[in-house]
């Protein structure tokens, strides 16, 4: 048994200890390892944090989206995947999510998984060609190899918009265009990213990571947005800002009026604004601010129930 298979088997044997309820753990320790073991090149083809421009997701999309895994290279896409944590029950909302990614990238195949439960979607339809739950890594590899391994997906599909690799990997400031009858050049893509590893400053990395985790935690009520310089968490109902963070400037801007519109209790909003005023341009204690922000979201969501 290879080392990679041993790692995945440990996840099956001790999921509470090895994975917990972390999507990142399932993403890396199960799915990334599995794709590597199936034969995809972990350096050239398995892409993490690949960004899809919001325009590709439809007119109502508020921000760029980031599937958990895209398998692609300069020839085009092979596979796109969305990974939930081990204890997540896969739902229609998750299915709609992966179908949207698949269409946006023109990917021949897509998958949705929590590490043990898998749905694989093929070329022509949105009904899974495989829907299965696995008890061991060996069983999972055997069943998935002919479907989503390089031997099963022999040809890529061309990206449906230009500069896709540059955009997906956030390489500098680039423009892109749709391939349609009237090829339309879209605005320059921003260098601001929700992928924490794209920042050099360790505190900025940490804070962006914590904000992204918070958005995932409250995905039913909160969505991520971005401006030319800012990352924002917004309330889905009112579209008002919970937080406006400028990672390049290491600054959080006041959002009192937005908090009032969302229904954030005044004492919590005051506590939050005292913290960001104290921090100024040096956000060194991410967890304290994140903790208050979590309580703010909890309170405003509870108020509307």
| Predicted local distance difference test score (pLDDT) of residue 200 | 84
DSSP letter for 89, please.
P
Query: Regarding beta strands 241-246 and 251-253, do their DSSP bridges make them parallel or antiparallel, or are they unpaired?
Result: antiparallel
For residue range 143-159, list pLDDT tens digits in order. Answer: 999 999 998 898 889 98
CATH fold group of domain 3-168: tt1808, chain A (3.90.1570)
> Which part of the chain has CATH 3.90.1570.30?
3-168
pTM higher than the cut 0.75: no
**Over residues 31-50, mean pLDDT:** 93
Average model confidence (pLDDT) across the chain? 85
CA-to-CA distance for 247 and 283, rounded, in angstroms?
A: 10
Q: How confident is the model at residue 2 (pLDDT cuts 50, 70, 90)?
A: low
| Predicted local distance difference test score (pLDDT) of residue 137 | 93
For residue range 246-279, list pLDDT tens digits in order. Answer: 988 888 999 999 999 999 999 999 999 998 888 7
Helix residue spans in 110-255 (DSSP H): 137-148, 164-168, 202-217
Q: What is the 3-state secondary structure (H, E, C) of 266-280?
A: HHHHHHHHHHHHHHC
Burial class (CB in 10 A: 0-12, 13-18, 19+), 212: middle
CB-based contacts of 16-23 (< 8 A; 24+ apart in sequence): 19/85, 19/86, 19/115, 20/85, 20/86, 21/85, 21/86, 21/87, 22/85, 23/68, 23/83, 23/84, 23/85, 23/216
Per-residue CA distances from 70 to 78, 98, 118, 137, 249 (Å): 8, 11, 16, 21, 30
* % residues pLDDT > 90 (the chain): 47
């Amino acid at each position: 048994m290879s080392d990679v298979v041993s790692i995945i088997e440990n996840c099956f044997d001790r999921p509470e200890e090895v994975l917990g309820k972390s999507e990142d753990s399932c993403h890396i320790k199960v799915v990334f390892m599995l794709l590597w073991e199936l034969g995809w090149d972990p350096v050239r083809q398995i892409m993490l944090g690949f960004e899809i421009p919001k325009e590709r997701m439809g007119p109502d999309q508020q921000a760029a989206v980031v599937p958990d895994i895209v398998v692609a290279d300069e020839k085009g896409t092979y596979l796109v995947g969305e990974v939930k944590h081990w204890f997540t029950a896969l739902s229609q909302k998750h299915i709609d999510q992966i179908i949207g990614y698949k269409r946006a990238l023109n990917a021949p195949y897509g998958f949705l998984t929590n590490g043990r439960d898998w749905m694989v979607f093929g070329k022509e339809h949105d009904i899974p060609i495989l829907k299965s739950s696995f008890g061991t890594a060996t069983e999972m590899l055997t069943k998935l190899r002919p479907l989503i391994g390089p031997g099963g997906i022999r040809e890529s599909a061309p990206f449906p918009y230009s500069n896709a690799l540059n955009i997906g990997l956030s390489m500098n400031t680039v423009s892109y265009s749709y391939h349609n009858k009237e090829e339309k050049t879209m605005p320059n893509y921003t260098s601001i990213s929700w992928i924490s590893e794209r920042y050099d400053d360790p505190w900025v990395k940490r804070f962006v990571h914590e904000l992204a985790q918070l958005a995932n935690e409250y995905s039913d009520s909160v969505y991520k947005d971005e401006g030319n310089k800012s990352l924002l968490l917004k309330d889905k109902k009112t579209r008002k800002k919970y937080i406006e963070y400028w990672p390049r400037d290491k600054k959080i801007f006041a959002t009192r009026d937005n908090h009032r519109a969302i229904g954030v209790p005044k004492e919590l909003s005051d506590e939050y604004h005292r913290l960001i005023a104290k921090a100024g341009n040096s956000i060194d204690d991410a967890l304290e601010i994140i903790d208050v922000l979590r309580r703010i979201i909890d309170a405003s969501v509870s108020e509307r129930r």
